[in-house]
Structure 1
Amino acid sequence: MRRTAAAVAAATVLLAAVGTVGESAAAQPVHVGGGVSQAYLTDARPGTALTLVDDAGNRAGSGVADSLGSLIVRDLQPGRYRFVGAGIKSAPVEVTGKDSPPPAPSLYGQTLHEGLNYITMRDGVSLAATVRLPYGKKLSDGPFPTVIEYSGYQNAAPDDLVVGAVGEKVGLKDPQAPDTSVIVGSTLATQMLGFASVSLQMRGSGCSGGDFGLFDDVAAFDAYDAIETVGRQRWVSGHRVGMVGISFSGISQMFAAGTRPPHLAAIAPMSTTDDLYSTGLPGGIYNKGFANSWLRERVQQAQPGPAGGQPWVRARIEGGDKTCANNQKLRRQTQNVFKLIRDNPTRAAKVYQERSIPDWADRIDVPVFLVGAAQDEQTGPNWVNLIKHLDHNPNVWVNIINGHHFDSLGPQILSRWAEFLQLFVANQVPHTPPNMQPLGTVVFPAATNAPGQQIPPVRFSDSRTVAAAKARFKAQTPRLWALFDNGGGAAGPGGLSSAWQRSLSAWPTSTERMFLNDKGRLGSRPAGGTVSFAPNPLNRPLNTLKNASTDTAAAWGIHPDYDWRPAPGRSGLGFISAPLSRDKVVLGNGSVTLRLKSTAKVTDLQVTVSEVNGRGQETSVGTGVLRSSFRGDGTAPDFTTQTPLADGFNQITIPINPLMHGFRKGSRIRVTVSAPGGDLPSWQFSTPATGGKVIDTVDLSKSYVTIPVIAGEVPGAGPDCGFLRGSACRAYKPAFNGG
């Protein structure tokens, strides 16, 4: 690959951190580098014993060169280090920390061209980055408003996503086409908005160098370095960039923005999560469904190419891409993520602290357009817990929609998304691009099998200045926009369209309590008595959609084939209210508090809130799970420590974040309590088998459900059974206790 003069200059700056030649006469020339809290070595003889020493000669770490001749030493303090071993005394490397000053600006003088590039990071590792333009444009037509999509999926693969997707449909798969999961940056930003887009491949994946760290500090500061490099390109309008993307590339934005790169203008994360722990171990219980399959795919794609890894890696290496081939050398240093999970069952572990999205969110100071679904079946609905961590930032707009992971890309939301990016990244008066509205007639039917629909036109296009348009956007766009009854709107039954919305200035905190009473009633006042059940996680399907743990689009259709069965026999409790005398709009964080004792020292619990209509049809609304050992003080879980149940009754509060639903007058609210599993599309829980021998007893005098309620009526009749997106529907069957 051709190296520009600017890249050579940047490499010169890095010599303090990166060495390339061993100093020993034993002739083991190696390549070494130092970055954020770690140092690496490549090109040693496999099996060579290595020690990392500081300037004083003190041992800082050690290991053995792997089968590719590489080693990474982690968790280092800032300072100078060198590797020593048989025939090796490396050049010194400089290790930095999270709070160290950024690299010299000369690092960011690298020049990028259209197509595939390799951007050098502060530790000398290079990341693949593909510059994409609107069809028919070239860089000399710029400058362009520019966004970055940062992902470990097949992202920087340099061919065209749309052409690749069409080819795959007819059996002509292009190994160098990006995954459809990165459609936001690869296609929507470029072909819908007319922006330039940079598809940045995360370290340890694809043709990028390094090891895969799953959102570690190194990956966060890689984003900083890439943003600073891209922002300085001559073809970038205003020399500030935005970030876009859904799921993986939504999550990555939170880390990137938390590093506060000066050339970052705004971020627009979709379908993120609040915390890797809450998705991987919801309620402290390992998610052996979607989270497990997602991690296995990441492990497989982090294998070194050309034999392993992503399809485009083999194609690039076999086509002569020597940089891509060289970048595979550190892949065997990727840590065993499943061992990390086994060894770190609590949220207190460093592996989770380092990857704490709330901590990064506390630092974000650029405008944010945050979108997510209330029943996200993949990353989960707990992303709403990030909202409070953005309270310090006045320029935050949150959209929440009932529905699935994909539904963040709904047409009503995409219109606001376009306005946001045009105002805060392009610094333009919003306009409706000619490709925007018709795009929905293609994208939504392909993803949901629903009829196509046009994306609504943007607002404020009649503003005379950008400043006036921004002022109108801020005045007329609520901080929180909640889109209800998705599946019951203009797109037809099950289609991606919300029937009604609510605008709020903040995340709601107003709640009501309903008490678990005898005979399975849910009442306005507490009552006495106890009721016992025998939780059994194996007496119904683990999840409601058979293939949803591995088929990521299984839940996105207009009427998914849910298999939502009640907990049979005495394995679950049910509590149901009287018919509501008025509408109840529910939005916010909910929970179920149980005063409970068990024959086991640890019991796993699941609670689900649902609606039963006048026709006897039950629709799921929200589910929460908790391992009792993480109950904390009983008012809220504490995932940093585990405590067995005490003898007698214990208070346990199981969060359901969020609850979002319009309960209509005449319908009834139901709460069920069971072992985890059977109520969610793709999450499965690694909860111990009980054989029906564990008995949990609930003291009804101090057990209740907390429901977040906001003012307003619920318009219309609502979607028919099974067509409310994100919610399963079944015929209501009372539990053995009557509710």
Structure 2
Amino acid sequence: MQHQETVWITLADGCRLAARVWLPEAADKVPAVLEYLPYRRRDRHRGDDAILHPGLAAAGYAAVRVDMRGAGDSDGLLHDEYTPQEWADCTEVIAWIAAQPWCSGAVGMIGISWSGFNSLQVAALQPPALKAIVTACSTDDRYADDMHYMGGVLLNDNLQYGSTLFTWTPTPPDPLIVGERWRAMWLERLQAMALPPPARWMRHATRDAYWRSGSVCEAYPRIQVPVLAVGGWADGYTNAVPRLLANLSGPRKGLIGPWAHAFPHVATPGPRIDFIGYVVRWFDHWLKGIDNGIMAEPMLSAWLQEAEPPKARYETRRGRWIAEQQWPSPAISDSLWHLAPGRLAEQPAAAFALVLCSPATTGSASGEWCPYGWGPDMPTDQREDDAGSLCFDGEPLGEPLQLLGNPRLRLTLCSDTAMAMLAVRLCAVAADGSSQRVSYGLLNLAQRDGHHRQVPLLPGMDYQVEVQLKACAFEVPAGYRLRVAVSSAYWPLAAPLPWRATLTLRGGVLALPRRDATVASCQAPALGQPWSPPALPSTVLVPPQRGRLQLLRDLASGDTRMNVVRNLGALLIEETGLELGALGNETYSINADDPATARSEALRTASFSRGDWSVRLHTRNLLTASADGWRLESSLEAFEGEQSVFRRDWDEHFAFFPAQEGDA
């Protein structure tokens, strides 16, 4: 294999993008596979690149890893995620790759998270040389299914991920690559940070034009290239794969395992698979024209999770592979259950009125919105959250029940406040009483008629609403009971409103996507044993650590605090001689009786050093709320050595009912 550490791609406007390239040993022209993202090929993402791209090169592909405009060693400025500039640049990069003497002219894209998003977005632009894509842990709908909002409810992941992007967007290029101009490039990036990313996203509380841009669900027919969509049931992005299979018209396949937010050959929970081998088969078919039978295999392969004792971290998840030849599948139909006081009934119940006012700490067993799988970030036993919810239990099942798809709950309710949130969980309850979350969904009741606008609730008026829960694949064993748990809080996964709403439930119907295994007769393909190239040579200085480490309660006051760590760690990268640090944490605090006390604080540090060169950045974001709306206080400070070279502070306010598109 040939490796080129830095290759410059000059765009039409003169901007130069930095790329790494891995080439097969053979001198023949080969197809190329591009990954295009802002996560710094020289350092921060170097470990991830090491376990993917050399494997593609070994299989006979040119693997090209490009830092976007304004990121890493590339020229220019990065102002936001998923912009028209980003996509236009990428189409130029694809054309550049296709024209290289080592390329056959056929290009594929692969990506996870950000690069999974833009693989779909660029595919919708139809660059001529792009022949197929692989998109993992991504979404087709930036408002409905990203870490900013869920059902119109503001997520605390908007703060935590926004803090990470806030820290890494203005990091400097490597002086060994760009020379003395590194400092000017760095200061320009710092000066360009006009608004912290969490604040930018909070300015768009509804599904407006900002979110529609880059949401490929707005124009599925524009994606004509073959799409392999990959996800994990533990990941935050579980809904996109079934939607893409149902709505794309071109060749497509879906693969959903038990994994968290990582490629399936290195992800936890396991079991892992030979993902590189599977991807190579995909690209061999579409970029090399090899008839290897992959398109005769089922459209969807999914890991059917089985019930087991819930815990914060799993090495592997119980279950087995199942498959559907087409999606939507004729093997799946709605199984309807009616809400009655305290129970799930097969027939509609008599009229009832159940009052709900959850403690503000309900949700502490939620786990992360987007688990990464290498720390305690999964949902734990749900009994404590169940205690703060209205629960509706079915009878013990006489036979196993397979679920595959999105559960839905229709409710009739009223509220005593103009804005309130609703959290709905579907749980499998064992004979010992332990409660395992199968799926969940949130709804901002002010967006009950659609996410394009917020309309205040009229206190005391009945409304009919529907909550769609996240897609799942789960087998509930015989002897277990189904439980629907409804709460008016879901902290700290959801940013809490500063009041406790009281809801009155008057009826509801649960629709479960029941899978009939006798109808679904096809077999899942063999997915192989996990393999990856060797890990990045490095010396660990501070071990990586991630997850919800502590839940602390003051029993006298009712104050509760969740401590979360986000350390990628610190290490010496032997290939580049660079010491890299990526440390962070969050603290979420609240009083069970008074959500107006809630504080969500995120701290981040990024540092780089080699010899006598040393720079670091510190960021802080603090989210609070009052009756007037949200408040976000932010700061960014950068140091060269021990000298502060830049500081900026922000104090941003966001109304709960801002002016919206179409308002006079």
| Residue number in structure 2 paired with 1:482 | 302
- Structure 1: how far apart are the matches of 2:76 and 2:193? 8
Kindly tell me: are residues 388 and 194 of structure 1, through their superposed partners in 2, closer, same or farther at Cα, counting changes over 3 Å? closer
SS at match of 1:240: strand
| Mapped pair 1:152 → 2:45 | no
Match of 2:466 among 653, 658, 664: 653
Q: Partners of 1:254 and 1:399 in 2: how far apart?
A: 16
| Per-residue deviation, 1:141 | 3.0
SS at match of 1:141: coil
Match of 2:66 in 1: 200
Distance 1:704 1:128, change over 3 A: same
C-alpha distance after superposition, 1:349-398 (max 9, x if no partner)? x2212222323543111111111123314xx32323641564311x1011
Equivalent in the alignment of 2:232: 373
- Which whole-Å deviations, capped at 9, do the CAs of 1:280-339 have from their partners, x for residues lacking one? 1111122113x4222221122121xxxxx06xx24436x726489658746633552333
1:711-726 map, 5 Å: 711-712=516-517
The answer on whether the counterparts of 2:69 and 2:86 sit within 8 Å (CA) in structure 1 is yes
In structure 2, the residue matched to 1:684 is 493
Of 268, 279, 285, the match for 1:423: 285
User: CA, structure 1 residues 697+187, in 2 after alignment: closer, same or farther (shift >3 Å)?
Assistant: farther
Percent identity of equivalent pairs: 22
Q: Secondary structure at the match of 2:490?
A: coil
CA distance in 2, matches of 1:184, 1:262: 29
Q: How does 1:268-417 map to 2 (within 5 A)?
A: 268-278=134-144, 279=146, 280-289=148-157, 291-303=158-170, 309=171, 313-316=173-176, 320=179, 322=181, 329=188, 332-333=191-192, 336=195, 337-348=197-208, 350-359=209-218, 361-377=220-236, 380-384=237-241, 386-387=243-244, 390-393=247-250, 395-406=251-262, 408-409=264-265, 410-411=272-273, 413-417=275-279
**Which of the residues 240, 253, 269 maps onto 2:119?**
253
Verify: 1:627 aligned to 2:447, yes or no. Answer: no
Distance in 2 between residues matched to 1:501 and 1:260, nearest whole Å: 33
Q: What is the CA–CA distance in structure 1 between the aligned matches of 2:212 and 2:444, rounded to whole Å?
A: 20
Distance 1:405 1:578, change over 3 A: same
Whole-angstrom distance in 2 between the partners of 1:143 and 1:486:
46
Equivalent residue letter for 1:120: T
Q: Call closer, same or farther: CA 1:122–1:362 in 2, change over 3 Å.
A: farther
Match of 1:530 in 2: 352
Secondary structure of residue in 1 paired with 2:407: strand
**Does the Cα contact within 8 Å between 2:307 and 2:477 map onto a contact in 1?**
no
Tell me how far apart the structure 2 counterparts of residues 347 and 648 of structure 1 sit (CA, whole Å): 25
Q: Alpha-carbon deviation of 1:412?
A: 5.6
Corresponding residue to 2:321 among 477, 500, 509: 500
Instruction: Return the alpha-carbon distance in structure 2 between the equivalents of residues 321 and 266 of structure 1.
Output: 40
Q: Which residue of 2 aligns with 1:128?
A: 18
> TM-score, length-normalised on structure 2?
0.69
1:706 has 2:568 as partner: no
Aligned equivalents of 2:184, 2:176: Cα separation in 1: 8
Q: Per the alignment, in what secondary structure is the counterpart of residue 293 of structure 1?
A: helix
Unaligned runs of 5+ residues in structure 2 are: 266-271, 309-313, 522-547, 549-664
Which residue matches 1:461? none
1:235 Cα shift? 0.5
Q: In the alignment, is the contact (CA less than 8 A) between 1:608 and 1:671 conserved in 2?
A: yes
Provide the residue aligned with 1:605 in structure 2: 422
The match for 1:697 is 504
Look up the match of 2:53: 186
Aligned-residue offset at 1:659: 3.0
Q: Which amino acid aligns with 1:178?
A: H
Contact 1:146 1:195 in 2 (8 A): yes
1:119 corresponds to: 9
Question: 3-state DSSP class of the match of 1:298?
Answer: helix
Q: 1:222 offset after TM fit, Å?
A: 1.2
Higher helix content, 1 or 2: 1
- What is the RMSD of the two structures over their aligned residues, measured on CA atoms? 3.3
Q: Deviations over 1:699-727 (max 9, x none)?
A: 02xx0111111211799xxxxxxxxxxxx
Contact conserved, 2:428 with 2:476, CA < 8 A, in 1?
A: yes
Aligned to 2:648: none
3-state SS of 2:509 partner: strand
- In structure 2, distance between residues paired with 1:501 and 1:625: 28
Contact 2:362 2:487 (C-alpha < 8 Å) held by counterparts: no
Higher strand proportion (structure 1 or 2): 2
Match 1:594 to one of 390, 411, 414:
411
Q: 1:361 to 1:197 in 2, by over 3 A?
A: farther
SS at match of 1:145: strand
* 3-state SS, counterpart of residue 117 of structure 1: strand
Q: Does 1:141 align with 2:31?
A: no
Q: How many residues align?
A: 503
Contact persistence 1:288–1:685 (CA under 8 A):
yes
Could you say what secondary structure the match of 2:222 adopts?
Answer: coil
What letter matches 2:115 in structure 1?
Answer: S
Q: Deviations over 1:518-557 (max 9, x none)?
A: 2x11111110233434434632464544xx589x64x346
AA of the residue aligned to 2:153: I
The amino acid of 1:203's aligned partner reads R
Q: Which residue of 1 aligns with 2:86?
A: 219
Deviations 1:125-172 (A, max 9, x none): 2222111235xx4xx7343332111111123x2xxxxxxxxxxxxxxx
Q: Is the 8 A contact 2:379 2:437 kept in 1?
A: no
Question: Which residue identity is paired with 1:707?
Answer: L
Kept in 2, the 8 Å contact 1:480–1:504? The answer is yes
Instruction: Classify the secondary structure of the residue corresponding to 1:575.
Output: strand
Whether contact under 8 Å (1:185, 1:199) holds in the other structure is no
Local SS of the residue matching 2:71: coil
* Change beyond 3 A, Cα 1:183–1:507: farther
State the 1:113 CA deviation: 9.0
